[in-house]
Structure 1
Amino acid sequence: MSKKKLKWALLGTARINDRIIPALKKSRYCDLYAVASRSNNNLKVYATQRNIPVFYNSYQALLKDENIDVIYIALPNHLHSKWIIKAANVKKNVLCEKPITTSIKEINKIKKVAKKNKVAVQEATMMRFHPQTTFIQEMVRKKKIGSIKYISAVFSISMHNFKDIRFKYKKGGGSLWDLGSYCISFARSVLQKEPIKVFAKKIHIAGAGNVDYSLAGYLIFEKQIEMHFFSSFRSFPYEEVTMVGDKGVIKLNVPYCNLNQQGSVKITTEKINEVGKSSFGDEIPIKTINKKFDQNAYNEEVDSFAKTILYRSPQVISLDDSKKNIRALEALLKSAKLGKLISIRK
């Protein structure tokens, strides 16, 4: 593509837009051009306040605009697949909020349509684009803490609006899809391995569909790496990842939403590796590295996707990658329903 800047449009007026909009305006590859909403009665005010020149009162009208190169979708989860496919069928590239969809069947449809129309479609799990995440990937690859044995992950928020669409089961709600998906995606990406067995329990449930307010999960990855995680809508806002290896530990206090140096990475290893010696933790001489990152994940996300479209650079999250994450999440929900360990087929 010969364009210097891509024209972007927002499908919907979700709150997350106010994180992606500054990134689009800052990017030298992107031009925020349009927004569409079917329910926002103050759409003109919304667009004016955010300096968006074009606005549409229907999604279909926006799709017909031939000036648009990329559509950012931040609709409720159950609408993702429908509008990704509609956009791809009119040759629009799509960046869609996670989860890109909530079933293997739908992700297969998306893959087929994207390939047919020769457009890029990518899931917007922003922490996967952050230099903090790529740094951890490199530390694991270089075995800076030896072989990984165990991972624990937490992502919780405190929600009090029970009318929020994330509490609606039939609309792709639940803490696993909204928060737990980050825990699983992070682990898969840094390990470069897939879970082979999973177990989960919905701790707090409500509604006709038994949507999970909170969920605890256990995964066994290839090479017998074990993981526990906890996702919740009804807990103190908190996020953390700890990775334990046979030669050290990595701790991230803001693994998912690290914006502008809010979080840090702490790596603890032995100063001297005395092979064959057994000892308690307080007897080991250690060295600690603390590292901060000042980048914004949303800036990295939009620039990365723009380069994929403009220069054909590899996608950070391929549709096959998204499919593997969905497969793990589906297995966890199946386990929670049946109350037993579930094996994941490749």
Structure 2
Amino acid sequence: ALANGLDAIRITTTQEIVLPDLTKDKLGAVRLWLKSVEIPEVGDAGPDFDLVGCLGTSACPIGVTNAAGLVPELAELKNAGGLKIRASGCHNACSQHHVADIGLHGVTRLVNGKPMPHYQIHLGGDFSSPGGLALEGPTVPARKVPAALTHVLAAWNDARASGETIRAWAERLGEKGLNDLILPAATNIDEAANFFDWGESGAFSGPATGKGDCAAPQVANDHLADLALDALERMDRALLAGLWSLALHEAERAIVLAARRRLELDKRTKSKNPALPIIDRLRGAFKYRPILVEALEQLESARQIALVTGEAQTYRTAIADWLEQIESAEPLTSSKENVDAAELEQRVAAL
């Protein structure tokens, strides 16, 4: 690009390349360069619809299906002129499938006890103002998606009213109508070929468990921190209004949301025994961090004082300290993660 006199290249969210500040005298050389690296220009032969897919399992460690392998198959669709079609390898929506005319996101389904790649179909999303999320349609095996969308596009072109959008058409059909239209394309589901994803030579093994390239994990953790602070603020407002029960509810919510953030950052799980009080459940979940167990003991002590005396400031301060300790806790090192279980139990019991 630099050799052809380009100072910048920009990639859009729809996987297009923009060459800013391109002067007319450089246009011919740049077009030759684009052809040499097989990058088509707008208007070149290709699909007459807007098709975008994420990389899926071809590159992303948390992808479920190989969306990049599916996209070339979708490029052969007919009767899709002007539509936006988006394919994501998982629910995190890197291709923005939820606001496309036709969206797909990869999921796993068990067939005869074995994992099979599937796609959830979405219809009628719109990212323009005021916009709207797509309607959820049925889930079909990945290998059946091109046939299923062929049915959808043929039916939409044949049966839609003049000027009717694909969303209005889908709403008119309703859930049963969409299922009746799409699911016949997904017959013979247990065929051997259906256990192989598009673009893959090996049998499908199910969703990945690694850390992905999208922002979802970081966003989720930050969101939990924000929700915990919001709950603490709502506790303050409830106390000012004299709403004692609501204040206690928001206090517990702040404690739990902050705890969830720390557990997810530490790649741990919280206790799932609903019969135990929340402090007891968290005490068990955080037994690998004695400092946080001690903070939980202080929380419970402050809570009991608040319940007996009706004075909540000590409890509120303990919750704020809890949120601060959750935020400032050092990341686990391999040595900390591998502390002998018996020794850890003794340390916790001594608190």
Alignment TM class, shorter chain as reference:
under 0.3
- Larger strand share, 1 or 2: 1
TM-score, normalised by the number of residues in structure 1: 0.26
TM-score, normalised by the number of residues in structure 2: 0.26
- Larger helix share, 1 or 2: 2
- Ranked by relative contact order (alpha carbons within 8 Å, sequence separation 6 or more), the top structure is 1
Structure with the greater alpha carbon radius of gyration: 2
